[in-house]
Amino acid sequence: MSRDPGGRSGGFKTRVKTAKGRKIGSTRWLERQLNDPYVKRAKAEGYRSRAAYKLLELDERFGFLKGVERVVDLGVAPGGWTQVVRQKVPRATVVGIDLLPTDPIDGATLLQMDFMADEAPDRLREALDGPADLILSDMAANTVGHPQTDHLRTMGLVEAALLFATEVLKPGGAFVAKVLAGGADANLVAELKRRFGTVKHAKPPASRKGSSEWYVVAQGFKGSA
C-alpha cells in the first residue's frame, strides 16, 4: 500500500453532516481533517500532529537536525516537532515551552508557560544547561480576523524568538521559525542575514496549500554580536 501522503485511498472522501449547533466553518474544518492524508499518516505513525511532517520535510531539505545536542522547541504543543527531534537525535537535550499543556514526551523537558513572560528565557536556559544548536519556533499568535494585526502579532513572536536564539545559540547553530505569507519582513531578513550565514524561506509540502504559513531557515549562526 502506498504511503505517499498526497495519494488518495480508494478515491473516497469522508463527508461530515452539519450537526445541530455546529457552525459551517467547524464542519468544513472537521471534514478537512478527516480527509487530510497527513492527519491520517500522523495517526498511523504515532505523531501527535501533522506538523511533524513539516519539520521532517524541512530537515530533509536543509539538514539542520544532524548532530544537534541541545534543541529548544518554542510553541511545542501538542509535541509533534519534539517527537521528531527525539526520534532523529535520541541523545539530544530537548526543551519545549507552550502556553498550552503538552503530554509528557520521553527525554524532553516541557514547560507550560508564556514564552513572552519575563522569566521564560531564564527557565529555558536553566533546563537547556548549555548553549543550543537549534532553536525551533512554530509559534503563531491567536488570530483576531484582521490580517494586518494577525501578521504583526505573529511576526512579533518571531522577532522575540530570534532575540532569544541570538542569546543561546552556539556558533554554527540554526534557527527555524514559522512566518506568514510573503515570509519575514525586510528588517527581520536583514537581521537574520547579519546573524547567520544563510537565510532561506520554504513552504514544506505538508503545509496546506491554502495556508499562509511559510518557514524561515537560518543556518550558520555567526555568534553573539
Helix axes 186-195, 147-168, angle to 10 degrees: 10
Q: Known binder of ligand: residue 114? A: yes
From 13, 17, 88, 178, active-site residue: 178
Q: Known binder of ligand: residue 138? A: yes
Q: Known binder of ligand: residue 73? A: no
Name the nearest CA neighbour of 141 among 130, 152, 133.
Answer: 152
Identify whether the C-beta of residue 215 lies closer than 8 Å to the C-beta of residue 178.
Answer: yes
Helix axes 37-45, 51-62, angle to 10 degrees: 90
Q: Known binder of ligand: residue 220? A: no
Q: Known binder of ligand: residue 129? A: no
| DSSP, residue by residue, 8-75 | -STT--------TT--HHHHHHHHHHHH-HHHHHHHHHT-SSTHHHHHHHHHHHH-TTTT--EEEEET
Is 222 known to be catalytic?
A: no
Residues making up the binding site for S-adenosyl-L-methionine: 79, 81, 98, 114, 138
Active-site positions read 178
